Structures are given as C-alpha cells and as structure tokens.
Structure 1
Amino acid sequence: MNKSQLSAALAPQNLRSCLISREGRLIYEHYREPHIVTQIAKINSCTKSILSALICIAIGQGLLPQPSAPLSQFYPQLQLDADKRKAAITLEQLLTMSAGFNWTEFGGQNSFPRMTRSENWTDFVLQQKLSHKPGEHMEYNSGVSQLLSAILVQGTGMPTARFAELHLFEPLGIEQYEWEQDPQGIHTGGFGLRLRPSDLLKFGQLYLQQGNWADWQLIPAELITRSTQTAMQAEAPRRGGYGWHWWTDSFAMTAGGTTESVLHYYYARGYGGQFVYVLPALEIVVVLTQDHQGKQKKPPVDVFREWIAPLLVEEVL
C-alpha cells in the first residue's frame, strides 16, 4: 500500500484517526493530534456492533436463547398486545432491524429523539405500532438496540457494561471506556459508548479472527459468520445490506477497466464518521474516526471506498 499517497488523499478530510492493520499487524496509523492516541471518544452507532458481539457471546454461553426466540419470552406483556405479531418478533429480527416497528430514526416521527426524552425507553419502543410484518423490511431503529441491551441484562443478570468488561473488554485489553445509560440504568444499545481508536481496531481484529483472541474463543465462530452476513437489504438511501447490527457491502476490484473480482466486507458505522471495516479476504481491518472539528461540517463521504479501498486492492491485482 502506498502510504504517502494515502496520507495525501486523507489530508483534506481532517480525520481524527485512521488505523489499518493487515494480518494483525499495524501497517498505517494516523492521528490528527498526539493526545487522540489515548483519548476515548464517542463511537456513536458503532456501539450497535459491540452490542451484537455481546449478544453472540451470551448466546454462545447459553445465557440467552437461540436467535429464533420470541420477544414475548422477555416481555410477556406483549401477549396481551392488540397486535399479536409483536409477541412473535424474534431476537434475530431485532438484530437485523426487521422487527417491523413504525419508526423513523430521524425526521418524520423523530422516534429516536422521542425515545430519549421518554421516562422509560424500552416501554416506549414496545408501545410503538407495527407498520410491517416482522422479518420482511429493514427500518433503522436504535430503539430495538435498546431492547437488546435490556434483554442482555435479563439473560446475564448483570449490566451490559459489566458483561462487556468480563467477556469482551478485559480479554481484548480494553481498559478505558465510558457508556451512557437510560433512565432505568440500562446501558444504551444503539449509541453512547466511548472507546479509543486502537480499541476499535482490536474489536475489528477479533472479528477478522473469527472470534478468537490469544487462543481464546470469545465469540463462537459460527455466530461471527452468521452475524456478519447480509440478512436484509439496506433501505434507501443507504447502500449494501445489514446483518446482526453490522453493515455489509462489496467493492469491485478492477484492472485495466475490467472487473477482476468482488471484495466483500462488513463494517460498524457510527454517526459523524466512525467506522470499523473488516475485509476477510485481504485480512485487513480499517478504523476511521471523526469529530467535526475545524471547518469540517459534515462527515467524510465514503472515505473508505473513495480512497482507502482502491489502494488496498492495488496490491492483490
């Protein structure tokens, strides 16, 4: 990879950080300021992919049931709901954002802001009407992520953050973090986690290694595979697909104007330019973070696809 070319391309983007590892070895590292190396910062909706990992760990340990388990197993009151479909919503449908709730994350109904202003976030989500049959349509929904965090608390008998400490953070050597909570003390499932860029790189590397870290199988390999496969097509204007709180996409590798092959990848994505990309075929993990400092008023538009991916695939063509 041409590092000087990459640095020149990324310079105008004013990224907070950019880390790239290949086969577990750091091959590119950029921080806008030295203190960012040790500073935790908001990862926004990348929190969802961390939560997905915790759900997979709990399933693997038998603390949560299989993904086909119905929501009524955790919230029996749903059996009394006028819409009988609610009780049958599955864990997997929550993970794939296909539960069917009538929800507009931002704009329109403003469901996400309304949830955060409510006294009880999980009750707010459960009370929403269904606009689609569960399992048929993806609608991006941080509310179902909050349900998953609450379900994790039920299954493990401990706060989401404590479960993360014991079964994810400590094994990976993640020592610093902060995690927001809702009014009931449930850690936010869809946002609110603060980590260092290097810790996001460790998280991506764990997935690249199929859940294995230092000969310790933290996450069952079969759940890594299942959770990072396309389960639903993303709703417009987003591209690609969606797995279990992971985005999926592909990049056409071309040479001489001819498509040689297609590179598949999956990634965690957070508002404002927070990303963790995992490229299994190339054994590469890419972390990008941003914070809107300076004159940058919008998050960089597809920095990965525009500048990083083409340089990465040059070496394999």
Structure 2
Amino acid sequence: MILFIALSLLLALCLVFLYIFFRLGPILTAFVAKVYASCVFTSRRNPASVSQGELALVPFVNVNIDKEARKVTASLGGFFSKTAVYKPGTGCSLLLGSKEEDVTKNCLDKDQFFTTPPQQLRLHAKEQDHVVNLRQLEQAFDYAFHQPKKVNTRAFLVFHHSTLVMEKYAEGFDAQLPQAGWSMCKSVINALVGILVKQGRLDIHAPVNLWPSGDLRNQLTIHQLLQMSSGLGFKEKYLGRTDVTQMLFDSPSVADFVLKKPLKYPPGTFWDYTSGTTNIISFKLREILGASYHNFPYQELFAKTGMHSAEMECDANGLYVGSSFMFASAHDWARFGLLYANDGVWEGERILPEGWVDYSRQPNPAAEMGRYGAHFWLNAGEKDHPEKRFWPSLPNDLYYASGFEGQFVMVIPSHSLLIVRLGQTLRKEDYDMEGVINKVLKAFKD
C-alpha cells in the first residue's frame, strides 16, 4: 500500500513536471533568446554581464550567440529552440515561425533622421543660488544605489529646471549605453499618439474600428486605450504562461493576440492595466501611417529631441511592441522626460500638441487613488481626497513612466524636478523609490 502511494505520488510529480516543462518551456526559451539578443546587439553589452544580470536565474537554458549574423538561439534540454535576430533601427525580434528574411526586411537607417551628432547633456553640479545642498543630494544618490536589499541600480540622474545637477552609474554602465525601458515604452507611444493628434491625423475619441462591422469592441477609442479602460479580457500577470507572456514571447503578432480577446467590461468603465492595449494602439498607428510607420518615431520624436540611442523593437510581423520593447541611454530617457517637463516643447519647437501633457496626467476616474492617466502613472490621489495616494509623502503632481525591474522617468512640476532611475531590481516593490525621492526633495529648497 505504501509502495503504491509512493509510486502514485512520483507519477503525479512527473506529470506536473512535464506539464510545467512543456507549457512554460517555449515561453522561457523565447524570453532568454530575446533578452540576450537585445542586451548584446541593441544595448551592445558583454554577454557575460547579461548572464550574470538579467538571466542569472535561468543558467540551465542553452544559449548560442552568433555575433556575425547578429542572432541568438536558446533551447532547454534540446527542446523549444527559439531564435531572436537583430535588425538595425528596429531592434531584436523573435522569429516564432517566421522566416528570417521576412523579419530582417524591417531594417532602417535611423541615422538618416539625425542632422547633428549625439550630444551629451551637460552636468551643472554646483550650489546654485543656495537652491541645492549637494551633500544631501549625494546622500540621496547613495541611497538610490545602496538600500537594505540588493537593488542593482544602474543609472540615477536628477535634473532641476531642466538642468542636469547630478548623475551616477554602476560599473559597466554609463550615460550613453542603451538600456531597456520595458513598460516605459508605453509612455513613448503616448508621445507618438500626441504627435499624430497635433498633425490632425488622429482623433483619440473616435472609434478605432479594428474589428468586423457590428462588433461591440469597435466602440473602443484611443483615449480609452491610453487610460487602460479597454474592457478587454486581458490579464497582466507575468508568472507562468499568461496573456502577457504569450503575447510577448509566443506570438508572431502581438496585436493579433490581443485583438482576439473578448470584451469583459463595457469600454471606458473599468480600469485594468494591460500591456495588450498599447499594442492595439501601435497597430492602429501602423494603419494610419502605412509605409512611414517605422520611420515615424525617429523622424518626429527621437531626431527632434536628440535621442540618438533610442530604438523601438518589433515583433515578427514588423509591429513596434509599444508595450514593452524599447532601449535608450540614460541621457536619452532623460531627454524624453524633459520633453514632458517642458510641456511638450523642445528647444523652442512644439513637439506635442498644446495641452497634451496636461491631458496625459489627468487621472482616469476609474483608476484607484488617481494612479493612472494616459499611459503615465500618477500620484494624484483620490478625487476630493488627494491625501489618499500611492506615495502619500510625495507631491500629488508627480507623474512618471515606469517599467519592469524598476525603470522610472519621473517629473515633479511643483519642484521643477526630473528624476531618472534605471536598473535591474527583479521586484519593483523591493526598491524604495518613495524614500529615494524624499531624500532628493530634501536636497532642494524650492
């Protein structure tokens, strides 16, 4: 009897293992291939630093890096071989059944859009009219890099009145090294939408009309998608084989995966943060822009703000994965933040339409504690009760782009501050951003 029970338990464990292995294996190997390829070819990092950093928890996946062909293949015990390939200008894409020549045709020469060479933002670290206490600011920087838990901060920058006051980088990283923004890319999609609005080519309150005639999902608007109130049944969970992991790492078309999702709530009535909504916006942008789709971010945003290192990455079908895949240097992520800190104006040229920044940080009424606007996170607090907010000790006008592993581009208008933090903290909750920002605020007197 005991032997029977033991054998039954062993069989059950084997079945569970096989279920997990074959269910999660394709996701895991695709994730490894994509991260390795992006970090090595888009970010130009040493493979050893990637294996010791982003992929330290998956050493059992076999990886082959072909530097000449600029592609990475990952497999798990000989199963689930997945390949990611790099294309200049549109980053790394997972093949996922697509032919390599079909994926690599999306290349573009992004340098053609830049009329001036890359320029480093100038540091102005001195006691400015007794406005900043540099010793206190240095203490804030020390805390940004060294907290009770290991947080792996890679870059931290503080700007005051659009002037770079202090910056610091981890060993192996610097101001010009492209780094992953993950979901900060969603805020970049916000900018692209704003530019099309300024050009008169997009009405954010008009129905998107992406489904067959008569489908209730056609009621959806870009405004509702930007505010994460699509009502689509897409769940933002990352552990296991979920909607978001399948979309990013097991679907040739990230948009098609989301467009198949049914309505769970009437559009505009329920706030639910989902990466899928951003990729629907990216799909709609391609419908509007046509052949100029791949050039558009460079021509209308990156070149005009001097973001030379910026590179948005595509899926196998050539769609920008606006939810998650963009690399840029610390200085270029800062340039993006400065655009918003200056009301959408860059060196005298209006890039975003007048009022767009205010619109972007207008709370979605359905979002708890006024936490979300139009593809930007907020600290606004509850309506009529602003003290009930996500970070109670921080200003309620703070708004920010945020990404996986603790990527932040934060704007605090009331203090004329812009703060950029890049790093690799596996759980964003482990990083005391509220404490860091409080220390930064104490260093400034206005």
Band the TM-score falls in, shorter-chain normalisation: 0.7 to 0.9
How much identity, in percent, do the aligned residues show? Answer: 28
C-alpha distance in structure 1 between counterparts of 2:315 and 2:305, whole Å: 26
Give SS of 1:37's match. coil
Q: Does 1:113 align with 2:250?
A: no
2:228 aligns with: 97
C-alpha distance in structure 1 between counterparts of 2:291 and 2:157, whole Å: 33
C-alpha distance in structure 2 between counterparts of 1:245 and 1:78, whole Å: 27
Residues 285, 260 of structure 1: alpha-carbon distance in 2 compared, 3 angstrom cutoff: closer
Of the three residues 128, 143, 164, the one matched with 1:9 is 143
2:201 aligns with: 63
Residues 315, 233 of structure 1: alpha-carbon distance in 2 compared, 3 angstrom cutoff: farther
Of the three residues 277, 282, 287, the one matched with 1:144 is 277
Measured on the aligned residues, the alpha-carbon RMSD in Å equals 2.6
C-alpha distance in structure 1 between counterparts of 2:415 and 2:243, whole Å: 39
C-alpha distance in structure 1 between counterparts of 2:395 and 2:180, whole Å: 32
The one-letter code sitting in structure 2 at the alignment partner of 1:67 is I
8 Å contact 1:240–1:248 — kept in the other structure? yes
> Which sections of structure 2, spanning at least 5 residues, go unmatched?
1-132, 382-386
Q: Tell me which of the two structures has the higher relative contact order, counting C-alpha pairs closer than 8 angstroms and 6 or more residues apart.
A: 1
1:188 aligns with: 321
The superposition leaves residues 126-150 of structure 1 with CA deviations (integer Å, 9 ceiling, x where unpaired) of 2111111110111111111111111
State the TM-score, normalized to the length of structure 2. 0.62
Give SS of 2:398's match. strand
Residues 283, 135 of structure 1: alpha-carbon distance in 2 compared, 3 angstrom cutoff: same
1:231 aligns with: 364
The one-letter code sitting in structure 2 at the alignment partner of 1:6 is A
State the TM-score, normalized to the length of structure 1. 0.86
Give SS of 1:264's match. coil
Residues 250, 120 of structure 1: alpha-carbon distance in 2 compared, 3 angstrom cutoff: closer
Give SS of 1:20's match. strand
The one-letter code sitting in structure 2 at the alignment partner of 1:14 is N
Q: Does 1:41 align with 2:179?
A: yes
Q: Which has the larger radius of gyration?
A: 2
The one-letter code sitting in structure 2 at the alignment partner of 1:23 is H
**Offset at residue 14 of structure 1 (A):** 3.4
C-alpha distance in structure 1 between counterparts of 2:251 and 2:228, whole Å: 21
The one-letter code sitting in structure 1 at the alignment partner of 2:198 is G
Alignment of 1:1-317 (within 5 A): 1=133, 2-12=136-146, 13-33=151-171, 35-64=173-202, 66-72=203-209, 75=210, 77-81=211-215, 84=216, 86-106=217-237, 110-116=242-248, 117-158=250-291, 160-234=293-367, 240-250=370-380, 262-292=395-425, 297-299=426-428, 301-313=430-442, 315-316=444-445
Give SS of 1:140's match. coil
The one-letter code sitting in structure 1 at the alignment partner of 2:259 is L
C-alpha distance in structure 2 between counterparts of 1:260 and 1:131, whole Å: 35
**Offset at residue 59 of structure 1 (A):** 0.9
**Offset at residue 62 of structure 1 (A):** 1.2
C-alpha distance in structure 2 between counterparts of 1:183 and 1:206, whole Å: 31
Give SS of 2:166's match. strand
Residues 159, 97 of structure 1: alpha-carbon distance in 2 compared, 3 angstrom cutoff: farther
The one-letter code sitting in structure 2 at the alignment partner of 1:51 is I
Of residues 299-308 and 223-232 in structure 1, the stretch that sits farther from structure 2 once superposed is 299-308
Number of aligned residue pairs: give it.
299
**Offset at residue 33 of structure 1 (A):** 2.3
C-alpha distance in structure 2 between counterparts of 1:222 and 1:144, whole Å: 23
The one-letter code sitting in structure 2 at the alignment partner of 1:215 is G
Give SS of 1:242's match. coil
